[in-house]
Amino acid sequence: MSAPKIAAVILAAGKGTRLKSELPKVLHEVCGRPMLAYVLDACRTAGIDDLIAIVGHCKHLVIESFDNDPGIQWVEQSPQLGTGHAVMVCREQIARHDHVFVLCGDGPLIRSETISEVIETHVRQNAAATLATAILDDPSGYGRIHRDASGNLLGIVEHADCTPEQLRIREVNPSYYCFRGPDLLDALDQIQPNNVKGEYYITDALAIMIKAGKKAFAVSSVRPEDIYSINSRQHLALVNRIMRDRILDRHMNDGVTIIDPNSTWIDARATIGQDTVIRPHVHIDGPVKIGANCRIGPFVHLTGNEEVADDATLAPGIGARS
C-alpha cells in the first residue's frame, strides 16, 4: 500500500498588530532566522514535503524572503477572516492530499517529533482529526481539551467559555491539527462565522467532525516549553531565549565546549567543529563557520560569512592564529 499523501498548511498571513511593526509577523527573527523558517524545517524533518503557506499582509515580503525555496506553494488569504478561512482558501490544494497538517507560522518552537507523533497516531487510528496537546501548570488563556470519563475527545473549550471545573483542566490546545482531507473539506463547508469577530475558526471544523460522530484524537505530545507562539515583543524575546538554549545544547551535544552559556549567543545558521571551546561573552551572528579544536573568546564578535580555520585561536587584540 502506498504511503498517504500529506501536506502542511502553514498559517502565515497575520500582520502581528501587537508587535507594532510594519514587518510581516512571520519574518521577525529568532536567533537570526525568520520564525517561519523553523516551522518549514520542522515539517520537512517530519517528512512533509508538500508545504502550503497562507500569506496576506505584505505577502510580497514573505515570498521574497523565501525566493530560494521553490518547494513552498504560496496561497493568498484576502481578506483575512480567521484560521478556518485561511484553510478555506487552499481547498484546491487540500483536495490533492489524503491528510493535511495545519499549524501556525508564528510558532517556531514546534518540533518535528511532535508533528511525526501526531501524524503517526492519526494514520494508525484512521482518524478524521487528531490534534497535539500540552499539559501546563498554568493553562490560563488557552483553550482546554474536553474529554469524557473514558478519555475520549469531546472538543475544545475556549478559556472565556470554561466552567469553574473546566478551568482546572491543565491539558490545552497549542493549535496543531492533522485532518483527513475529505473530512476537512466537508467540515469547512459547514463552518459559520458565529462569533463577535465574524471570523471562521479552524476549531469549529473539529467540533463539526466530533458532532457528526467522526473519530477524533488528542495526543499529549507538546512539551510545555514548546507551546509559545509570538504575539508581542515580550513573546519574541522569550522565544529567542528558548531557541538560544536549544542551539547551545545542540552544539554542546556535538562536542563543542561552551564555558558560559548565559553570556553566549550563537546564530542558528552557524557551524562549529568538534572540540572547539567557546569562552564567555562570544557573539556569533550569521552563517559563521568555525573549525575544529579552536579557542574563541572571550569577548569576540563574529559576523556574516566569516570562517575560522581548524586549530585557530581568536581573542580581543589578536587575529586568528594557529
Give φ, ψ of 159 to 5 degrees: -50, -45
Q: What is the pTM of this model?
A: 0.92
More confident residue, 196 or 178: 178
- pLDDT-derived band at 11 (thresholds 50, 70, 90) equals very high
Angle at 207 between CA 204 and CA 212, to 5 degrees: 130
The answer to whether residue 5 scores a pLDDT higher than 90 is: yes
More confident residue, 74 or 1: 74
The answer to whether residue 173 scores a pLDDT higher than 90 is: yes
Model pLDDT, residue 318: 57
pLDDT per position as a tens digit, 57-109: 899 999 999 998 989 999 999 998 999 999 999 999 999 999 999 999 999 99
Q: How many Å apart are CA 105 and CA 91, to the nearest integer?
A: 19
Model pLDDT, residue 319: 54
Measuring CA to CA, which residue among 253, 130, 180 is closest to residue 4? 180
Instruction: Give the pLDDT mean for 16-22.
Output: 87
- pLDDT-derived band at 44 (thresholds 50, 70, 90) equals very high
More confident residue, 129 or 16: 129
Q: Domains in the chain and their CATH numbers?
A: 6-226 (3.90.550.10), 254-321 (2.160.10.10)
Model pLDDT, residue 317: 63
More confident residue, 2 or 221: 221
Q: How many Å apart are CA 120 and CA 176, to the nearest integer?
A: 14
Q: Which residues are catalytic?
A: 18
All 3 cell numbers of residue 128?
478524521
Instruction: Give the pLDDT mean for 13-30.
Output: 91
Sheet containing 318-321, strands listed edge to edge, beginning at the edge strand earlier in sequence: 257-258, 277-278, 295-296, 313-315, 318-321
Alpha helix segments (H runs only) across the chain: 35-45, 59-65, 83-88, 91-94, 112-124, 181-188, 202-211, 233-253
Neighbours of 253 (CB within 10 A): 8
Contacts of 225 (CB under 8 A, 6+ apart): 109, 242
pLDDT per position as a tens digit, 264-319: 999 999 999 999 999 999 999 999 999 999 999 999 999 999 999 999 999 986 55
Model pLDDT, residue 18: 86
Angle between helices 202-211 and 181-188 (to 10 degrees): 100
Model pLDDT, residue 15: 84
More confident residue, 62 or 196: 62
Model pLDDT, residue 3: 80
Q: Which residues pair with 157 in a beta bridge?
A: 144
Instruction: Give the pLDDT mean for 118-131.
Output: 96
- pLDDT-derived band at 197 (thresholds 50, 70, 90) equals confident
Model pLDDT, residue 176: 95
- pLDDT-derived band at 17 (thresholds 50, 70, 90) equals confident
- pLDDT-derived band at 51 (thresholds 50, 70, 90) equals very high
- Indicate the burial class of 116 (C-beta count within 10 angstroms; 0-12, 13-18, 19 or more): middle
Model pLDDT, residue 320: 54
Model pLDDT, residue 287: 96
